[in-house]
A and B are shown apart, each in its own frame.
Chain A
Amino acid sequence: MNSNATLAVEAHGLVKSFGDKRAVDGVSLRIPTASICGVLGPNGAGKTTTINMLATLTKPDAGTAEVFGHDLLREAHVVRQLIGLTGQFASIDEDLTALENLMIFGRLYGYSRRDSKRKASGLLEEFELGDVANRSLSTFSGGMRRRLDLAVSLVSQPPLLFLDEPTTGLDPRTRTQMWQTIRTLVKGGSTVLLTTQYLEEADQLADNIVVIDKGQVVASDTPDQLKRSVGSSSLHLTVKDAANSANAAQIVQRVLNTKVQLARACELIAPMANIDRLTDVLTTLRDAGIALSRVNILQPTLDEVFFALTGKRSKDREKEDN
């Protein structure tokens, strides 16, 4: 056992260029065993390229990385025995049934026919796909395909899982299911590295969030610390009668003890550090006889995160690229 035994991933200064473009430009990561690391970034930030390097698909131009203490380049085949990868694009076969798909991967990992079948059936039950095990994938919904694709990664029970944007394109209900699945995995002792474009997702799942932009790490912290540096969510209130808005602003200001901004004649915006206070705001407004037409609590968007961290809006970043 060496000193890195508690780290699932340790990467130093990974670099990968495609032509002139440096897709990944010196990324360093440390992921403790049995934790979830969320890599957050916009499209083209270098998230997938980073995962592809760590999963031994592409060789880094510079930098080093170890997976459970095994060097990515010198011991690539050992690393492959320790990881599972679920990419952005489903890797399962449309023509085959769910059971056949899983069994083929079981066979590839060296299990006997019987063991492959046993493992495949077990996974299908766990992923609530038991009823459709023998159905062709062409009848599957997007969410079912994603679940099956994730199940394929679990055939070998790998201690480290890479999930590249596991919920992109899923409806909210399926997304929540997927989150639950990922949490259960980590409870079983797996380490997960997942990429996402959504701050909310990283916040929900990750123990640590690494924000990357243009191939570089711009922040690496716990979700709470990160949100603190970015700013909290905000309350958006629309009063029915514009004449009440000044009065309403005073009340919100008093209850939340913060500055309130008047966005339009009847819309108020206030930063909201503690969502629990929403009830107080609403009851006080009702007691004062002020009717509302709309209430929203908005999380900071990825764009706002980047603005807070890099001081640039995404439009400016695009301009710089051109």
Chain B
Amino acid sequence: MTYSTVMLAAEQPLKNRVGIGRAISNSCTLAYRALLKMSKNPEILVDFVVLPVMFTLLFTFLFGGAISGSISNYLPIAIPGVLLMSSLTNCTTAGSKLREDANKGTTSRFKSMPIARIAPVAGSLTADLVRYAVGGTTVFTTGYALGYRPQAGILAVIASILFMMLVAWSLSWVFAFISMCTRTISTASAIGVVVMFPLVFLSNAFVPAETMPRWLQYLVLHINPLSGVVTAVRQLLSRGTLGPEFWFAGFGILVILAVFIPLTINAYKRKA
């Protein structure tokens, strides 16, 4: 065996900080790693197909008649709600891959390397965009099979999926933070479910808010930020326009990212 000699008199000058270009390229490499792992186990994608199909069928057939009189009348209400719910279910497990790395020793190695501290987290969460895309596409495909034809056409459908991917990506930083602050994966996903269910069901995702008592209407429409997301998607799909709710949700995404990216990176540096 012959090992090439070491670069003690460093080829490139030693720097004490990571530039933004390097941070982005590190994150992309680690996102590629996550995608490569996903492609070796395509069966995990089945989760992201089965769940949305199940949600779509379940909600439309169970509630369609009761809420809107018929399944076809209910579809425009339900599809944006199911889209939100399946994306959120997928992002509650956002931190589990990071934790797997930490348990194995991969995280230790990453931390000993001259890479951006944000890269392992950003890479893993960004690769999840594929899951949200698969989930979103499945929801619309199932809806289409049931007779759903959004007025605003295919471009609005694509825009809705992209918008929901962005929402889920920003929320996944929150769930990654939660998972890093808990001891085990199961605690983290339990908290994820406890947070997600009230948020989804105390919104206008499946039921029009007008039918609720006044105090609940206030909670649903003015407190729960997810109602805005659903309204924005509905508007996009039915009229093809971006309403005030859309811009408000966009602003919310920026706020979440501004708060949780530093928090999550910091937790990753200390805990994982």
Which residues of A come within 8 Å of B, CB atoms? Answer: 33, 52, 55-57, 68, 70, 75-78, 80-85, 87-93, 95-96, 100, 104-105, 107-110, 122, 126-127, 136, 152-154, 156-159, 162, 180-181, 184-185, 188-190
Q: Is the CB of A126 within 8 A of B2?
A: yes
Q: Is the CB of B10 within 8 A of A81?
A: yes
Cα distance, A83 to B7, chains bound together (Å): 11
Q: Is the CB of A93 within 8 A of B106?
A: yes
**Chain B positions within 8 Å of A184 at CB level:** 1-3
Cβ-closest 3 pairs across A and B: A89-B105, A91-B109, A85-B112
Q: Which of B3, B16, B37, B105 contacts A91 (CB 8 A)?
A: B105
From residue A60, how far is it (CB to closest CB) to chain B in Å? Answer: 15
* Known contacts A81-B10, A95-B41, A157-B7; A87/B16 CB under 8 A: no
**Chain A positions within 8 Å of B7 at CB level:** 156-157, 159
Q: Please indicate which of the listed interface residues B4, B8, B10, B29 has the most CB atoms of chain A within 10 Å of its own CB.
A: B8
Cα distance, A127 to B2, chains bound together (Å): 10
**Chain A positions within 8 Å of B29 at CB level:** 104, 107-108
Quick one: which of B66-107 are within 8 Å of A by CB? Answer: 104-106
B32 on interface, CB distance cutoff 8 Å:
yes
Which residues of B come within 8 Å of A, CB atoms? Answer: 1-8, 10, 14-18, 22, 25-26, 29-30, 32-33, 36-37, 40-41, 104-106, 108-109, 111-115, 119
Cα distance, A110 to B24, chains bound together (Å): 11
Q: Is the CB of A75 within 8 A of B16?
A: yes
**Chain A positions within 8 Å of B115 at CB level:** 108
Interface SS, B side: loop
* Known contacts A77-B114, A83-B112; A188/B3 CB under 8 A: yes
**Chain A positions within 8 Å of B25 at CB level:** 107, 110
Q: Which of A77, A89, A109 contacts B104 (CB 8 A)?
A: A89
Q: Is the CB of B3 within 8 A of A154?
A: yes
Q: Is the CB of A104 within 8 A of B32?
A: yes
Cα distance, A91 to B37, chains bound together (Å): 14
Q: Which of A55, A76, A157 contacts B6 (CB 8 A)?
A: A157
**Chain A positions within 8 Å of B22 at CB level:** 110
Q: Is the CB of B109 within 8 A of A87?
A: yes
Q: Which of B3, B30, B33, B111 contacts A57 (CB 8 A)?
A: B111
Cα distance, A162 to B112, chains bound together (Å): 10
**Chain B positions within 8 Å of A136 at CB level:** 40
Cα distance, A141 to B15, chains bound together (Å): 38
Q: Is the CB of B105 within 8 A of A181?
A: no
From residue A193, how far is it (CB to closest CB) to chain B in Å? Answer: 13
Q: Is the CB of B37 within 8 A of A57?
A: no
Cα distance, A180 to B25, chains bound together (Å): 36
Q: Is the CB of A159 within 8 A of B6?
A: yes
| 21 pairs from A and B in contact (CB 8 Å cutoff) | A33-B8, A75-B16, A77-B18, A78-B14, A81-B10, A82-B14, A85-B112, A87-B105, A87-B108, A90-B104, A90-B105, A95-B36, A104-B32, A104-B36, A108-B115, A110-B25, A157-B6, A157-B7, A159-B8, A181-B1, A189-B8
